[in-house]
Amino acid sequence: MPASARNSITTIEATVTSKGQITLPSELRKRLGLEKGSRIRFSIPTTGPVQIEPVRFTIEDLWRMADSGPKPTRVMSFEEMNAAKARRLG
């Protein structure tokens, strides 16, 4: 693959309504795997570009997953929780 193809950027524009709302263009929704009811997260660093990512799980989703499995015999560490989340997203 040529370097220009690897470094290419797709630009998508949307219009902000008077209520501060936008409609995400279909190409962006497809790329992020968004469907009706999906949630997105905006990460806004003090410098640099804003990042947008889909929110894969809500706290209710995590409680539902916890309630559906066998009752734990001990408390999970943060590292174990992060590893479990990574497996689920993978």
**CA separation for the pair 56, 33 (Å, rounded):** 10
**CA separation for the pair 38, 24 (Å, rounded):** 12
Q: Whole-model pTM above 0.85? A: no
pLDDT over 90 percentage in the chain: 28
**CA separation for the pair 80, 90 (Å, rounded):** 15
Q: Where are the domains of the chain?
A: 22-55, 57-90
pLDDT digits 0-9 by tens, 43-84: 999 998 999 988 877 777 777 777 777 776 778 788 888 887
Q: Which residue has the higher pLDDT, 8 or 14?
A: 14
Per-residue pLDDT at 37 exceeds 70: yes
**CA separation for the pair 4, 28 (Å, rounded):** 21
| Confidence (pLDDT) at 25 | 93
Q: At 8, is the pLDDT very low, low, confident or very high (cuts 50, 70, 90)?
A: confident
Q: What average pLDDT does range 5-25 have in this prediction?
A: 87
Per-residue pLDDT at 15 exceeds 90: yes
59 residue type, one letter: I
In angstroms and rounded to an integer, the radius of gyration of the C-alpha atoms of the chain is 18
